[in-house]
Amino acid sequence: MLSYALRRLLITIPVVLLSTFLVFGAVTASGDPLQDLRQQPNITQERIDNVRETRGLDDPFPVQYWRWLEQVPTNGFGEYMISPRQILPDLQRVIGNTLQLVIAAEVFAFITAVALGVASAKRQYSIFDYTTTTISFVGFAMPTFWFALLLQVTVVQIFELTGVRILPLANLSSANPGTGLAWLWDRALHLVLPVITLSIVSIAAYSRYMRASMLEVINSDYVRTARAKGLSEGVITRRHAMRNALIPTITVAALSFGGLLSGAIVVEVVFGLDGMGQYFLNQLQRRDPYPIVAWLSVVAVVVMVFNLVADLLYGYLDPRIRYD
C-alpha cells in the first residue's frame, strides 16, 4: 500500500517537470514578458535592458527554464519577471481562497448528488426520477459561465422587485468584513453563488453515477436477502445498499477534482474572486512564465494527491481491491 502510494507520487515528478518545461516554452514563445514594463511611463530603455540582462531573456528557453528550476529548491518559486515581489505569498493566498470555494462546492455537490441519486434510484421511472434526470442533462449541457450570469441576473431582479439584497454578487468579502464569526459569515455569504455555480455540473455528473450504482445494488441478491429477513426499508437503503453504491461515486468525485479547478477559473472570473483561476489568467495575459509554471506545479501536486486519495479510498471501501 505504502509503496504503491509512493510510486504514484514519484511518477508525478517527471510529468510535472516535462509539462512545466513545455508550458514554460509555450509562454515564452507566445509573447513579450516585458510588455507591461514597456507600457509604463518613466521606464527607460536602460531599465528594460537591465531586466533583459539579469533575467537572461536572450538565452534559449531551455536555459531560462533550467535557471528557474535551479533556484526553486532554495528560493521557493522566485520572483516575478519585472518586479522583485515573491511569487509564493501570492500563490498561497489565491490557493487558500480557491480551496475554500472548491472544497465547499465539492462537499455541497457530493451530498446533493448522493441524495438525488438515491432518491431517484429508489423511485425509478417516477416523475421525480424523470425530473432529476432531465435537470442533470441540462446541467451537463450548460456552460458554467452562463449559469453564473443567470444567477447574477436573478439576484439583481429579486433586489429590484423586493428591495432585499439577498446575496452579494461579487468579490470574496465586503469592504469591511469584520473579524471572527462575522468574517466567516460574510465569507460564506459571498461564496454562496460561486459554490452553486461550480457545483452544478458536478451534481449532474455525480448524481448520474450514484443513481446507476444504486440501481445495480438495489437489484442485487444481498439486498433481497436483507429485505427477506424483514429489515426496514430505511435500514436497507442506508446500511446495505447506499454504502456499496457510494464507492464508484466517491472515486468519480475525487478524480474530477482537476475538472473542478477548470470550473473554478471560469467562476472566479465571473464573480471577480481573488483565486487561482483569476491569478492564472492575469499572469497569462502578462506573459510571465514564472508564476504560470509555479501555478501548474502546485496544481499538479494537489490533483495528484487527490487522485491518490481516490485510489486509496477505493481500496479501503472495497476490500476486494488490493494494490501491489
Is residue 127 near other proteins by the rule CB under 8 A? no
Least Cβ distance, residue 304 to other proteins (angstroms): 6
Provide the grid cell at 179. 473579524
Least Cβ distance, residue 259 to other proteins (angstroms): 7
Is residue 5 near other proteins by the rule CB under 8 A? no
Which C-beta is closer to other proteins: that of 50 or that of 131? 131
Cα distance between residue 117 and residue 131, in whole Å: 12
Closest CA to 172 of 83, 104, 255, 245: 104
Is residue 177 near other proteins by the rule CB under 8 A? no
3-class SS letters over 5-48: HHHHHHHHHHHHHHHHHHHHHHHHHHCCCCHHHHHCCCCCHHHH
Encoded amino acid at 206, one letter: Y
The one segment of 64-72, 106-114, 219-227, 303-311 that binds other proteins by CB under 8 A? 303-311
Is residue 60 near other proteins by the rule CB under 8 A? no
Is residue 309 near other proteins by the rule CB under 8 A? no
Angle (CA) 227 233 238, round 5°: 105
**Phi, psi values for residue 86, rounded to 5°:** -75, 145
**Of 116, 226, 253, 261, which lies in the binding site for other proteins, with binding defined by CB under 8 A?**
261
- The answer to whether the beta carbons of residues 290 and 70 sit under 8 Å apart is no
Least Cβ distance, residue 232 to other proteins (angstroms): 33
Binding site for other proteins (CB under 8 A): 11-12, 15-16, 18-19, 23, 26-27, 29-31, 137-138, 140-146, 149-150, 152-153, 156, 258-259, 261-263, 265-266, 269, 280-281, 284, 287, 292, 295-296, 299-300, 303-304, 307
